[in-house]
Amino acid sequence: EEGCGFSFGKSPAGRTFELAEVEQVLRDKHIGPLDGFRSKAGWPFVAEMVIKFDEEAKNYKLEFDFGDDKAGEEDGEIIDFSAQTALGACPKCGGNVFEHGKNYVCEKSVPTDAQATPSCDFKSGQIILQQPIEREQMQKLLATGKTDMLEKFVSMRTRRAFKAMLAWDAEAGKVNFEFAPSKFPPRKTAAATKRGAAPATTTPSKAKKATTKKAVKTTADKVTKPKAPRKTTAASGKTPSAALAAVIGADAIARPQVMKKLWDYIKANNLQDAKDKRSINADAKLLEVFGKPQVTMFELAGIAGKHLS
């Protein structure tokens, strides 16, 4: 015999049911709010779960219930708070605050017999970042402006627990977090110390001297002429040997000029080897310099250096 087909998973949204929770939801067709659920993006969330009949599937199914407080607002259904005791006065408009769905709301924020069109928007969740906000804490917030220190908030960004009070922020017009003051004074940084230091007193005479000195320096910078390029003179060159002087002349000469004149002489007399241009054939004058009939171009600088003093 086939069953009715009703079933539900053991771990909806990453949270595994306890046996007692399964018994409760089957008995009451409702459970929660429960925390520990995870969205597809990995964020924690809190929700109730209910067993409802699905017209499309023609069967019952377990699904999340995030509250019915939106229903009355959207379809204009009149909300009746007559069976409830007000928690306190709304900090925005002075109306009474009641429980509605998963929130604490101002009576003027939903359609009621007294006011069909909402005129206030005060609303605060009964569970905020996994921290249940008990009636007593909301009463305290409405009466004094803040709750006690609550210790079970869980950051959605870091997923770490933190402590905070809920406080009415009149400027922002909503409930915000308020943290306990730090036990330790803020550390002084070098920049803060420098900013906090009293400025040094400057006498008129010192200020005048500083201004004059700065002006002189600026003028000097403007009139400074660029350095002339260093000239190579005969005095800064080398004296060629008699053998080398027969090729490039006897005047003192810088090494780069020696090489230039040697190559000018070699090319003018067509002394590069016809088969290997890297080799240089010595004529009568270069034979005295090279000491052999042929040298390579790579030897030329070393040989010339030996003839300079």
* Mean pLDDT (the chain, rounded): 81
Q: What is the pLDDT of residue 38?
A: 80
Q: Are 253 and 234 in contact (CB under 8 A)?
A: yes
Other CB atoms within a 10 A radius of the CB of residue 32 amount to: 18
Q: How far apart are CA 66 and CA 49, in angstroms?
A: 8
**Rounded alpha-carbon distances, angstroms, from residue 54 to 6, 58, 62:** 11, 6, 10
Residue 182 has pLDDT above 80, yes or no: no
What's the pLDDT tens digit per position in 112-149? 888 888 899 898 988 888 889 999 999 999 999 999 99
User: DSSP character for 10?
Assistant: S
What DSSP assignment string belongs to 190-248? HHHHHHHSPPPP--HHHHHHHHHHHHHHHHHHHHPPPPPPPPP-GGGSBPBPHHHHHHH
Nearest CA to 69 out of 61, 57, 77, 58 is that of 77
What is the per-residue pLDDT across 207-223, written as a single tens digit (0 to 9) for each? 555 555 555 555 555 55
pLDDT tens profile 55-109: 888 899 999 886 555 545 555 678 889 999 999 999 999 999 999 888 899 999 8
Pick the CATH number of 234-305 from 1.10.287.130, 1.10.245.10, 3.40.50.720, 3.30.70.100: 1.10.245.10
Residues of the chain with CATH 1.10.245.10: 234-305
- % of the chain exceeding 70 in pLDDT: 78
Neighbours of 126 (CB within 10 A): 19
Of 37 and 85, which is predicted with more confidence? Answer: 85
Report how far residue 128's alpha carbon sits from residue 35's, in angstroms, rounded to the nearest whole number.
11
**Region at 32 (left for phi over 0; alpha for psi -120 to 50; beta for the rest):** left
